[in-house]
Structure 1
Amino acid sequence: MDNALYVGLSRQMVLRRQLDIVANNIANADTSGFKVEELLQKTNPAEPAYTLQGPRPVKFVGEDGVIRDFGQGSLRRTDAPLDLAIEGKGFFQVQSPSGPLYTRDGAFQLNDNGVLVTAGGYPVMDDGGGSITLDPQLGQVSISQDGTITQGSTRVGKLAAVNFQTLATLQKTGDNLYRNTSNQQPTPVEGAKIRQGMLEGSNVNSILEISKMIEISRAYEQMAKIMDSNSELSKSAVARMGKAQ
């Protein structure tokens, strides 16, 4: 296969991966706490076949990871007492069988034992690393901006918004949860406010993502046309050489 076709194919593979990410962003435009993602790209120099005075090396296109924008999404009011949103930086910390996980999705609920859990059933952790148990008989749940949870005159616990020095260490694990892949320890966030009865929306800009999808689709089609033209040119050159002989 001609070098140009290899380069074009590598570009198409990256475009398909980029299209998958943009489509996922659009699909999660209404997901609470979802953070928009974007594909990083790089060039991979290689030593292909070449002719005298030809370009060396040829640079192929490759993906170089996915970046995530952790910017604040808009807050929307639900008035549900267990719906929580963080205004500012930070994450809620939850406990899973494999260790602590982190999320911006505050759509919490109570399990059969009265423990505050995520939609996936993971207990939400308080500022001391323990779970939070609520008793309906104690009255209405009130959560202040600093995360203090009270029922009537009884202080039940305190939520904490925690953050990391480098957010690149957070890896998606599904269900809008992230895992810390480094030795960094989460620290409480100063200035973050916990809003009761509200949820943070996705920070996806749907119009921008749809524009990206159209642009990627056109680039893919254009690359396919270039590869077809190059293939036809090679066939024509071989045919002419055959006739000349």
Structure 2
Amino acid sequence: MDNTLYVGLSRQMVLKREMDIIANNIANADTNGFKVENLMTKEVDGAPAFTQGGPRPVKFVGEDGVARDFSQGGMRRTDATYDVAIDGQGFFKVSTANGDRFTRDGHFRTDSNGVITTQNGDPVADDGGGQITIDPNKSGPITISEDGIVSQGTERVGKIGVYKFDSQSALEKTGDNLYQNAANQTPTAADTAKVRQGMLESSNVNSITQITRMIEVNRAYEQVTQMISAESDLSRTSVSRLGKLSS
């Protein structure tokens, strides 16, 4: 198989991966706090491949990671006591069996012990890294201030921690709308962020943009397929003619 076909196949592989990412974006358009993703590409040297009178080595297409847009999503009112959204930069920290994780999804609840947790039961960290517990034997409304302070009636019971990173590229997806601090950066308090009780942050996915991009990627894939088919036909024709000349 000649270099043209290899280049075309490398492009098709990248386009397939990009299509998977776009489909995932669309699937998570209604996921709380989800951040839209885009595939990054790069040129890859195909040494020792070369073309006569052309570049050495031939340049192929390769993946260069996934870029994540952490811009603010829209706010959706739920009026649920333990639903909270971050207005500004920052992440909630939760304690999982695999270590600390970070999320923008503030759809919280309390477990049987009164601990504020995620929907999966992972405790939400306070500003000191501990748990926040609501006493079921005490009366009074549960309020959460813009600073994240959780009060039961007139008594303060904790403060939901909101953390930020110098570089958000340190965050790596681990599933369940959670991120891990893959670069071991030290998170700091997101002092300028506001916590909004009774609200959830929506995904920042623009479905129309993603569907348009999906159509573009599909067309690009078809064009590469046509190019590969035409190149393959040309090669077969050339071999056939050379065979006739030599006979």
Regarding TM over 0.5, the answer is yes
CA distance in 2, matches of 1:98, 1:24: 24
- TM value normalised by structure 1: 0.97
Partner of 2:32: 32
CA offset digits 1:92-145 (Å, max 9, x no partner):
011112221100000001111111000111000101111111123332100000
* SS in structure 1 of the partner of residue 150 of structure 2: strand
Using the TM superposition, give the Cα deviation of residue 154 of structure 1 relative to its aligned residue in structure 2, in angstroms.
1.0
- The within-5 A match list for 1:173-188 is 173-188=174-189
Partner of 1:222: 223
Between 44-53 and 131-140, report the one with greater CA deviation.
Answer: 44-53
**Which amino acid letter does the alignment assign opposite residue 15 of structure 1?**
L
Partner of 1:14: 14
8 A contact 2:50–2:58 mirrored in 1: no
Q: 1:21 to 1:139 in 2, by over 3 A?
A: same
8 A contact 1:162–1:186 mirrored in 2: yes
Partner of 1:99: 99
8 A contact 2:51–2:58 mirrored in 1: no
**Which amino acid letter does the alignment assign opposite residue 149 of structure 2?**
T
* SS in structure 2 of the partner of residue 138 of structure 1: coil
8 A contact 1:115–1:133 mirrored in 2: yes
CA distance in 2, matches of 1:145, 1:130: 19
Using the TM superposition, give the Cα deviation of residue 57 of structure 1 relative to its aligned residue in structure 2, in angstroms.
1.7
**Which amino acid letter does the alignment assign opposite residue 102 of structure 1?**
F
> What percent identity do the matched residue pairs reach?
59
* SS in structure 1 of the partner of residue 62 of structure 2: strand
CA distance in 2, matches of 1:49, 1:64: 21
- TM value normalised by structure 2: 0.97
Number of matched pairs = 245
Partner of 1:57: 57
Q: 1:67 to 1:50 in 2, by over 3 A?
A: closer
Q: 1:115 to 1:57 in 2, by over 3 A?
A: same
Q: State yes or no: 1:81 paired with 2:81.
A: yes
**Which amino acid letter does the alignment assign opposite residue 212 of structure 1?**
R
* SS in structure 2 of the partner of residue 85 of structure 1: strand
CA distance in 2, matches of 1:227, 1:208: 29
CA distance in 1, matches of 2:194, 2:53: 63
Please, which runs of 5 or more residues in structure 1 have no aligned partner? none
Q: 1:52 to 1:81 in 2, by over 3 A?
A: closer
CA distance in 1, matches of 2:50, 2:161: 60
CA distance in 2, matches of 1:132, 1:76: 24
* SS in structure 2 of the partner of residue 127 of structure 1: coil
CA offset digits 1:54-78 (Å, max 9, x no partner):
3322100000100100000000100
Q: 1:98 to 1:238 in 2, by over 3 A?
A: same
CA distance in 2, matches of 1:59, 1:156: 60
8 A contact 1:3–1:48 mirrored in 2: no
- Root-mean-square deviation over aligned CA pairs: 1.1
- The within-5 A match list for 1:89-238 is 89-136=89-136, 137-238=138-239
8 A contact 1:107–1:119 mirrored in 2: yes
8 A contact 2:37–2:66 mirrored in 1: yes
* SS in structure 2 of the partner of residue 202 of structure 1: coil
Please, which runs of 5 or more residues in structure 2 have no aligned partner? none
**Which amino acid letter does the alignment assign opposite residue 129 of structure 1?**
G
